[in-house]
Chains A and B, each alone.
Chain A
Amino acid sequence: MTSIKQLPYEEYFLAGNGSCPGCGLTIGLRNVLKALGKEVYMVVPASCSSVVQSPFPNSSATVPLLNTPFAASAAAASGMVRALKVMGKDSVVMVWAGDGGTFDIGLATVSGAAERNEDLLYICYDNEAYMNTGGHRSSATPLGTFTGTTPTGKKENKKNIPLIMAAHGIPYVATASIAFITDLYDKILKAKDMKGFRYIQIFSPCTPGWLLPTEKSVESAKLAVQTGMYPLFEIENGIFKISAPSKAYLKKEKRKPLTDYFKLQGRFKHLKEEDIKLIEKWVDEISEEYASMDGKKVV
């Protein structure tokens, strides 16, 4: 396992970009690119990242970057991968997409590319809503969450995309978090050297969208893992494995109370006790399910 001191000094996504203070996606992208190095082509669909990279003629990306319409990224990346193959170039192609572009509008495209097992790395930075539009629910938004289109709280649970991706039979699926950088870094390193479709989903807090103080971004991401709201795991060649940061929190008695996580964020401010019970039930079920899957071939 890589230690924090071993992370490269080189920066591939530069400072001075257009992100908000405390932006989770930028922390994620900065470290993902540290793991991948400069030999990577980036494909970015409509998302906060379209803006964060900075407007023409400036760009914070020091690697080639192709912007695409919302639902197109996994297909555009497929075309790019095939073209590089024909041209005899051997570089990683990485999609960097948000949860709206992955869970919702881009799902057919992501599923198509996964079914074809295209040789690309698909990363979804999950900030649990359409944040570029000003904060609107996606199917990645957790139960009870306030957004601009769920003013009294979302009525449905978060869609379990990592397991749906795993069901495609792709070689690698993982969840990661910007609060556990070395775990994230090692997952990217591992995925980088694999062939076929690799899916990594990174928990990325959005300070304005979550009504979260800018300095609490990493802390809330850590709490999401410690409360069981966002378990970290890998499914490598069909074998499920809970990741080290989440290991302790599969047991209910070890988990921190959900209210520790909720109280930092304005998007959960309105939750009543019965709402929290419903969310807790979901966390309990997911944790139990993952505990029973740990170490087993699940696909």
Chain B
Amino acid sequence: MSIIEEKKGVSSVKVVTANEAVALAVKCAKVDVVGAYPISPQTSIMEYLTKYIETENLSMEIVRVESEHSAMAVAMGASSVGARAFTATASQGLLYMAEMVYWVGGSRLPIVMAITSRAMGAPWILGNEHTDILLPREWGWMVLFPEDNQEVFDTIIQAYRIADKTLIPVVVGLDGFILSHTTMPISIPDQSVIDSFIPKDVPKPYALDISNPFTHGNAVHSNLYLEFRYDIFRTIEESEDLVDQVDKEWEKITGRSYGGVIEEYLLDDAEVAIVIMGASSGDAKQAAKNVREKYGIKAGVIRLRSIRPFPVKRLSRIANNLKAIGVFDRNMSPGLGGMIATEVKFALYDLKNKPLVQSYIGGLGGKDVKIVDFEKIFTELKEIVDGKVGVEKVKWVGLDLAAVDSYFEEV
């Protein structure tokens, strides 16, 4: 018996890509209806799901629609009558779907969507970037961001529990290609464990039914809209504890947990830390270990698992003990900084002993970011703490403008 199998509630181990892990989780969640439209690097999720349905005789319905906008509309229509619904997309697909994503956020339907992150054009680009995953954080959705394939599987299951409880839809983001197309072993709990964790017979006050006819989504006057938005704000704000709690409950039955809203790595005595999310967190963790060994820098990693709710409470508690934070954003808010850096600064501004916060942007469009890059960030943060260098609005990682010039020279 392997180490993985020794954990509680495990019935099988499979070696799968993160996309297959998503598809397996959707199957295990007994999703009723899937809206499916292909886009790289998400497509194989739909390939796996269609295969399960057509070869394993599942009672799941998959609607192979003509656009992402319709994929989310399918999920919405299904969820509106109380069915469990799922869809997935990426990049341009999310942008095309945007109107529906926002509408579903306002509709308070407990849909779960996977987004396999990918940069957006123009120009055409396939590489990984987190800007797409971050967009729905303003659209009334929760946004969770696992690090590896096992956590991807587990987070999809956790997402349904959170969505059913809060009536807030949930995005589960995963790094395009880096996870979506990379195989790792995952353990899949016994179906009965999943069934009891995310039961389908939960209260569904939103569900339309012939026996209880009402109108869903009709016009409101301005005197109610603000209050509806406030309720979404408050529900997401207050679910920081829920995300922690669901992760702990998951640990009880599977032996696995990820720290809830934040995975804290080597933070107990840390002086400097990198805030990061997704698959690159592993490299940042390795770098923290390396700089501790090589230079004696007390480095740690704050891995954001939850972007919405933004973990203001936990982050504030952690930041109290830190002298400098480097926020690594694989995304950007043009002209301002990294999107997460902006939010980290907002979250920490009122702290009495707030650490210095340096925004780093890198890895856009799939540009490689290496362990050594994170080591450099840690040493720079240490220099900031020691007053040797100052904090700049943004520091760029891997920016090579000379390479651009050389392209033009060749032309």
Interface residues of A (CB under 8 A from B): 38-41, 43, 50-51, 53-56, 59, 61-69, 71-87, 89, 91, 108-109, 111-112, 115-116, 118
B64 touching A68, Cβ below 8 Å: no
Q: Which residues of B contact A55 (CB under 8 A)?
A: 218-221
Q: Is A72 a contact partner of B219 (Cβ separation < 8 A)?
A: no
Indicate whether B18 reaches chain A with its CB closer than 8 angstroms.
no
User: Please, what's the 1-or-0 string for B48-75, where 1 marks a CB less than 8 Å from any CB in chain A?
Assistant: 0000000000011101111101110111
Categorize the interface residue count of chain B: 35 or more
Contacting pair B66 A86 (CB below 8 A) = no
Given the contacts A67-B215, A68-B73, A68-B217, A80 and B80 also touching, CB distance less than 8 Å: yes
Q: Check B208 against A82 for contact (C-beta < 8 Å).
A: no
Cross-chain contact B35 with A63 (CB below 8 angstroms): no
If A64-B214, A65-B215, A69-B103 touch, whether A75 touches B35 (CB-CB below 8 Å) is: yes
Contacting residue for B63 out of A43, A63, A116, CB 8 A: A116
Q: Please name all residues of chain B whose beta carbon is closer than 8 Å to the beta carbon of A54 when the two chains form the complex.
A: 218
Tell me whether A112 and B76 are in contact (CB under 8 A). Answer: no
**Is B213 at the interface (CB under 8 A from chain A)?**
yes
CB of A111, distance to nearest CB on chain B (Å): 7
Q: Do residues B224 and A56 form an inter-chain contact, with CB atoms below 8 A?
A: yes
Contact of B83 among A61, A64, A83, A108 (CB under 8 A): A83
Q: What is the bound-complex CA distance between A72 and B82, given in angstroms?
A: 19
Is A83 a contact of B33 with CB atoms below 8 Å? yes
Would you call B32 an interface residue if the criterion is a C-beta within 8 Å of the partner chain's C-beta atoms? yes
Nearest Cβ distance between residue A177 and chain B, in whole angstroms?
27
Q: Do A68 and B76 form a contact, CB below 8 Å, given A79-B33, A87-B81?
A: yes
* A86:B216 contact, CB within 8 angstroms: no
Interface residues as binary, B27-46 with A (CB distance below 8 Å gives 1, 0 otherwise)? 00000110100000000000
Contact A79 B76 (CB under 8 A): yes
- Pair A72/B216 contact, Cβ less than 8 Å: no
Contact of A86 with B60 at beta-carbon distance under 8 Å, contacts A67-B216, A75-B69, A112-B66 already known: yes
Q: For chain B, residues 76 to 131, give those with C-beta under 8 angstroms from any C-beta of chain A.
A: 76-83, 85, 99-100, 103
Residues of A within 8 A of B224 (CB): 56
Q: Which residue of A lies closest to B217 (CB)?
A: A67
Q: B209 interface residue, CB < 8 Å from A?
A: yes
Chain B 195-206, CB-CB to A under 8 Å as 1, else 0, gives 000000000000
Closest-by-CB residue of A relative to B228 is A56
- New contact pairs (7) apart from A66-B217, A83-B83, A83-B85, CB-CB < 8 Å: A64-B214, A68-B73, A78-B77, A82-B78, A83-B33, A112-B70, A116-B64
Most buried by B among A68, A79, A112, A116: A79
B237-252 interface code vs A (CB 8 A; 1 in, 0 out): 0000000000000000
Whether the Cβ atoms of A83 and B69 lie closer than 8 Å is: no
B76 lies within 8 A of A76 (CB)? yes
Cβ-defined partner of A83 (8 Å) among B78, B213, B215: B78
Indicate if the CB atoms of B77 and A77 lie closer than 8 Å.
Answer: yes
Per the bound structure, the CA–CA distance linking A151 and B278 in Å amounts to 55
Whether B215 pairs with A41 at a CB distance below 8 angstroms is no
B210 contacts A by Cβ under 8 Å: yes
Which residue of B61, B67, B99, B216 is within 8 Å of A69 (Cβ)? Answer: B99
Residues of B within 8 A of A65 (CB): 208, 213-216, 218
Given contact pairs A41-B208, A68-B103, A108 touches B216 in the complex (Cβ within 8 A):
no
Cβ distance A288 to chain B, nearest Cβ, rounded Å: 34
